[in-house]
Amino acid sequence: MLSLHDISFAIDGRPLFEGASATIPDGHKVGLVGPNGAGKTTLFKLIRGEWPLESGSIKMPKRARIGGVAQEVPASQTSLMDMVLAADAERASLMAEADTATDPTRIAEVQTRLADIDAWSADARAASILRGLGFDEADLSRPCADFSGGWRMRVALAGVLFAQPDLLLLDEPTNYLDLEGALWLESYLAKYPHTVIIISHDRGLLNRAVGGILHLSEKKLTFYQGAYDQFARQRAARAAQAAAMAKKQETRRAHLQSYVDRFRYKADKARQAQSRLKMIAKMDMITPPEEAAKRVFNFPQPDELNPPIIRIENGAVGYDGAPVLRRLDLRIDQDDRIALLGKNGQGKSTLSKLLSDRLPLIEGKMTRSSRLRIGYFAQHQVDELRIDETPLQHLARERPGVYPPKLRAELAGFGLMADQAETQVGRLSGGQKARLSLLLATLDAPHILILDEPTNHLDIESREALVEALTAYSGAVVLVSHDMHLLNLVADRLWLVNNGHVAPYDGDLESYRTLLLSADKPAKEKSASSKPKRPSREAVLALRSDVRKCEERVTTLNDMAEKLSSKLADPALYDEDRVGDLSVWNRKYAEVQDAIERAETMWMKALERLDKAEN
């Protein structure tokens, strides 16, 4: 159980927590939500003990392990598999000790603990997690340095999931994942055996992977049972009740004050007036809940073009003459809302670049409307903003000659108010930078808006505002996102990018989610075969490795038993003055025999699993 009792903490004199308390029972999956800047990430640092509390206490069971994803992952030459395996420090230490220990008692303890933590299936578990997060079999032996920062963050996430800490703290874990990885993570976390707290603005994740919401607001913590939608309903009901009570109280206060104003100077009513003044003074006024800051997006509306606005016939696109996507036969009209589905690396971003005129066709024909204007947003554009300039300066460069008041009005239309307009980009939050990039992408009222992961760093209210803006927008939308809630509300057509091709996906998003989480691969969806899925070559190799390790462990323990048996056969050990030594050696022999029995049982089970997989 995690207990936060009456905690207080401030940064640079700004209080983030004042007498905040909450209790998270063991094994609960909890979403930590609240406005940007409220202190969610700070709370994680306090739980980990990185920063000291000003007052209050945070308590956990003794020896409980806390895990989370590091902010940066080094570009080392260590392979992905070894990086993940090393994340479980206890297993790594025990495995090393198992190779060097000589004391029979300690050998038995090490082997028992390795069995308890299922150490011998580690390779298979690590590979399964890495595959779930988007890596293929060939990637597992490649060094971390071969991958970009975003992909290395996935390796770090894989490591902490593999280590299975007693308290898992995840801060926006889906920001570096595609839809397929995010859906896999939802499923994995729902079955995670220990306590999880997730900071996330992904409504789908907060509805499917957690059973409670910890809300941080006004320096206090409030725990709600249920997933995010249930929390939202409860919070709305509480807000409505508080608003009604505040209004009722204000009406009563106004009535009392009216009486005082009328009669306080009349001798025969002075006493009653003073009595009512005291009643007003004693009233514990209820503060009506403040409305959330308006998180708006106002996309300019384009003029109407004749359909189609884009037509591709027998097209191919790729890099350096090598096609990534082939035989493209696609049409987009101005009223289309298209979501691109497909695992990372299949070509969704390549198709987005083709549609946005950032990549040419290698072969085939593309026809665009002559007056077509295209808006394109991708995460790398957020990272390429000039950090030493303000949003106003960015906009002025795109709108030369336009007066500042009009530029400020355009910024306000994307939720960047007066303070943010004059703040250097380097000091803005991730969500504010994303808003600026979205404004720049839509500045010229594009007829088609291509959005590649637009919700990263946007809070839930901002995501809802984005849905509203896209609903009102009269241009075409092509959307790549891991946010299923956004896709469900915006997209009415699904294109699957897979194996070098792009084709309409006939099912809905829920059927796609089910397909991804099923045992069969998407390519086998139409197969009518009812045969059980054949284990992959990698899985068989992992099982063979388990068998070999189990066999080696049994051999080592039998050698130890023979040495102890020889020791116990020494007549001198049975002298009356050595009864204590005899007891010690008998105990050690019994412990090794027990360890042998456990090891042989594990060996037989490993052989059974291998036999089943191979036959």
- pLDDT attached to residue 494: 93
CA–CA distances in Å: residue 286 to residues 75, 242, 290: 54, 7, 12
Q: Which of 344, 8, 47 is nearest to 176 (CA)?
A: 344
Greatest alpha-carbon span in the chain: 115
- pLDDT attached to residue 408: 93
Report the predicted TM-score, pTM, of the whole model to 2 decimal places.
0.72
C-alpha–C-alpha distance, residues 451 and 449, integer Å:
6
- pLDDT attached to residue 524: 38
- pLDDT attached to residue 526: 41
- Residues of the chain below pLDDT 70: 71-72, 242, 252, 259, 263-295, 519-542, 573-574, 576-580, 615
C-alpha–C-alpha distance, residues 185 and 445, integer Å:
37
CA distance between the termini of the chain: 45
- pLDDT attached to residue 531: 45
- pLDDT attached to residue 282: 63
- pLDDT attached to residue 197: 96
Q: How crowded is the C-beta side of 81, counted as CA atoms within 13 Å? A: 15
